């Protein structure tokens, strides 16, 4: 199997490969450039994002510093916002939908290692894609683990560890992350706990 294809096979492989390391270094050089940009260099950031990521939609903004294993395996939809210290362990594909918000210090990790210590000693690894649906909000300090799909419109509470798929239109929290409730009419009336939205908020 081709070295690069191993990354996307979802099978165990050994990641101490010089050819893979050389390809990864090229991506990480681009990531370094992104993290050295100034706040005033918005156009430069967009240009680097298009070089770094597999695809970038309209009006995406990622606050540096950004960390990524590759960058070139991450796909961004339109209007994606990520706060500082986003970590993308994108040894295989990460798909992030439209209008996704990501809080500070979030890790999205496609890569894992076998439990068996002999395999880990030999740097065995596997990678499984992650899918984040449209209109998802991932709260600060959350971790999304290999193979997870988060359904559209869902909210992942701060500090969650997402080990399994989360359905659409729910609030899910915890370690491991579990569904707390559905998103519904209550959320059109209240924005935080017992704090009620002004009736004319959508009318400007």
Residue 113 falls in the annotated catalytic set: yes
Cα separation, 130 vs 49, whole angstroms: 20
How do strand 111-112 and strand 124-127 relate by DSSP bridges?
A: antiparallel
Nearest by Cα to 74 from 102, 103, 99, 49 = 49
Please give the span between the terminal C-alpha atoms of the chain, in angstroms, as a whole number.
Answer: 57
| CA nearest neighbour of 100 among 130, 137, 129 | 137
Give me the catalytic one of 75, 113, 131, 186: 113
Mean pLDDT computed over 155-169: 99
Average pLDDT in the chain: 95
Within 10 angstroms of residue 86's Cβ, the number of other Cβ atoms is 22
Task: Give the model confidence (pLDDT) of 76-105 as tens digits.
Answer: 999 999 999 999 999 999 999 999 999 999
Q: Which domain holds residue 136?
A: 3-203
| pLDDT-based confidence at residue 3 (cuts at 50, 70, 90) | confident
pTM, two decimals, is 0.95
pLDDT over 70 at 200, yes or no: no
Per-residue tokens: 19:
């050819």
Indicate the number of domains in the chain.
1
Long-range contacts for 27-31 (Cβ within 8 Å, ≥24 apart)?
A: 27/52, 27/68, 27/70, 27/71, 27/72, 28/68, 28/70, 28/71, 30/71, 31/66, 31/67, 31/68, 31/71
Residue 204, pLDDT > 70, answer no
CATH of the domain at 128: 2.160.10.10
Q: Which helix (H) or strand (E) holds 124?
A: strand 124-127
Residue among 120, 149, 114, 118 at smallest CA distance from 134: 149
Q: Yes or no: say if 52 and 37 are a contact pair by the CB < 8 Å rule.
A: no
pLDDT tens-place string over residues 107-139: 999 999 999 999 999 999 999 999 999 999 999
Q: Inform me whether the pLDDT recorded for 144 exceeds 80.
A: yes
């Amino acid at each position: 199997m081709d070295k690069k294809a191993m990354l996307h096979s979802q099978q165990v492989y050994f990641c101490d490969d010089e050819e893979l390391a050389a390809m990864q270094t090229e991506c990480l050089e681009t990531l370094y450039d992104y993290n050295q940009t100034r706040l005033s260099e918005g156009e430069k950031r967009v240009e680097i994002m298009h070089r770094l990521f597999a695809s970038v939609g309209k009006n995406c903004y990622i606050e540096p510093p950004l960390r990524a294993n590759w960058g070139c395996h991450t796909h961004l939809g339109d209007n994606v916002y990520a706060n500082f210290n986003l970590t993308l362990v994108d040894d295989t594909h990460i798909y992030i939908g439209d209008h996704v918000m990501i809080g500070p210090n979030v890790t999205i990790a496609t890569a894992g290692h076998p439990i068996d210590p002999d395999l880990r000693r030999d740097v065995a690894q596997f990678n499984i894609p992650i899918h984040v649906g449209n209109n998802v909000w991932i709260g600060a300090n959350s971790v999304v683990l290999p193979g997870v799909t988060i359904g559209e419109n869902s909210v992942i509470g701060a500090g969650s560890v997402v080990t399994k798929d989360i359905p659409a239109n729910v609030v899910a929290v915890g370690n491991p992350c579990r569904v707390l409730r559905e998103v519904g009419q209550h959320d059109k009336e209240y924005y935080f706990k017992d704090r009620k939205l002004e009736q004319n908020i959508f009318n400007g």
